[in-house]
Amino acid sequence: MNIEEAEKLGIEQATKESLTTIKVKSDLNAILATVAKPIISKTGILNVPYLCKDNIVTLGTKTTAASKILENFESPYEATVVRRLREAGAVLIGKTNLDEFAMGSSTENSAYGVTKNPVDETRVPGGSSGGSAAAVASGMVPFALGSDTGGSIRQPASFCGVVGLMPTYGRVSRYGLIAMASSLDRIGPITTCVKDAARVLQIIAGYDEHDSTTVDIEVPDYVSVLDGDIKGLKIGVPKEYFGEGVNETIVQVVRLGIEMLEKQGAVVREISLPNSKYALATYYIIQPSEVSANLARYDGIRYGISAKDANNLWEVYDKSRAQGFGVEVKRRIMLGTYTLSAGFRDAYYDKAQRVRTLIKQDFDKAFEQVDVIISPTTPTVAFKIGERVQDPLSMYRADLLTAPASLAGLPAISVPGGEVEGLPVGLQIMGRQFDEKTILRVAYAYEQVR
């Protein structure tokens, strides 16, 4: 069910029953009737139920970030994206599982259990927004919110066979998103179709006085550009994204998708993004460094778990963090603390930031020649649950093709591109900064012909 169908059903139910409130039941029709008597919807989202990743704060329910350290935390305020959706008439019905503090590529790192891929329950749904992707793919809701730092919306969307959109850094407010890596984190929608991604982005995008990183520019009408016409549009195909480390069958599926777009009138040309090969290493220096700084606030004093068996202040810090954080979170805190320590910051963190600039410059140069860039979303299909838990480097490689756009601050969308041995394959479309309109236009055109 997409948003349009859900809204129609919601209006019919609310009109029929004229309810202001009812107890939430498992039946979708009952859920859709939980709002007041309907008004005319200008957003196409009235009475539509959705789910929210549990690192985005909400009122009246817990926000845990899938961590024991925030097991009973209830936020005193709500995220800007949640408020905007509420004001547009959407109905938040719950929170979704994730890798703890959004650190992971499989949703196996949660303190509250593993999420399964609804396409094949023996496999992971991807991460860290695996709960949101699995919920949409299984038909629980028409859309869900996720967050993307190095691929955490696009990768699970690819693994579960749904649409996942990461907006430009600064397009959507991060106010109310529990910080992990502040120069990389973004909020975006996971949906069943491209038009729904455009609808949700239309609501949540825009300047927010609570977030100084949001940019005060006009938000386009994203839905109006979805006409399927891409004649003359230039598509760049980066040779570095179709080579070593990427499953050959996935490469074939994505190249077939590019051929479909070419038949629709797009102009395809090969390009080079030479510094993208350093993106994964760069990402896993910058991200843990920012993790180390952001997670210092969880000290057992202000909120969250506080050790009861501590004898002094230092033991409170030590034991609270030891008890509250999981293995992967501790690993990244230690990596980040090391790279920021005296004598190593210049060699690691500062150098990584310079490489990040080179990656961004590669994209800038490429976008002088093309309008969008297309690649596979992930180097593999969804892997088995437990397959990579003991091999963090293998897990990190899941971000091989998504990390470059994250580092460059670009918008990118993953759309279902086909299947390999019955498992979904994602096709990734990247665009210029604040040009979500063009990647949505291409994604919609591809969706219509695939």
Active site residues: 53, 128, 152
Indicate the residue type of 160: C
Question: What sign does the dihedral 171-181-99-277 (CA atoms) show?
Answer: positive
Q: Which of 194, 273, 265 is nearest to 234 (CA)?
A: 265
Strand partners, 423: 420
8 A C-beta contact, residue 163 and residue 190: yes
d(CA 353, CA 375): 24
In three-state form (DSSP H/G/I as H, E/B as E, the rest C), the secondary structure along 69-107 is HHCCCECCCCCHHHHHHHHCCCEEEEEECCCHHHCCCCC
CA dihedral 434, 436, 439, 442 (to 10 degrees): -130
CA distances from 192 to 75, 112, 141, 439, 442 (A): 29, 26, 9, 16, 16
d(CA 287, CA 153): 16
Strand partners, 270: 237
Using CB atoms within 10 Å of the CB of residue 329, give its burial: 0 to 12 exposed, 13 to 18 middle, 19+ buried.
Answer: buried
8 A C-beta contact, residue 144 and residue 52: yes
Contacts (Cβ under 8 Å, ≥6 apart) of 42: none
Q: Which of 136, 139, 198 is nearest to 165 (CA)?
A: 198
Indicate the residue type of 208: D
Question: How many residues does this entry show for the chain?
Answer: 450
Q: What is the largest CA-CA distance in the chain?
A: 71
Indicate the residue type of 262: E
8 A C-beta contact, residue 135 and residue 96: yes
Contacts (Cβ under 8 Å, ≥6 apart) of 334: none
**E strand intervals along 224-379:** 234-238, 267-271, 372-376
- Rg of the Cα trace of the chain? 21
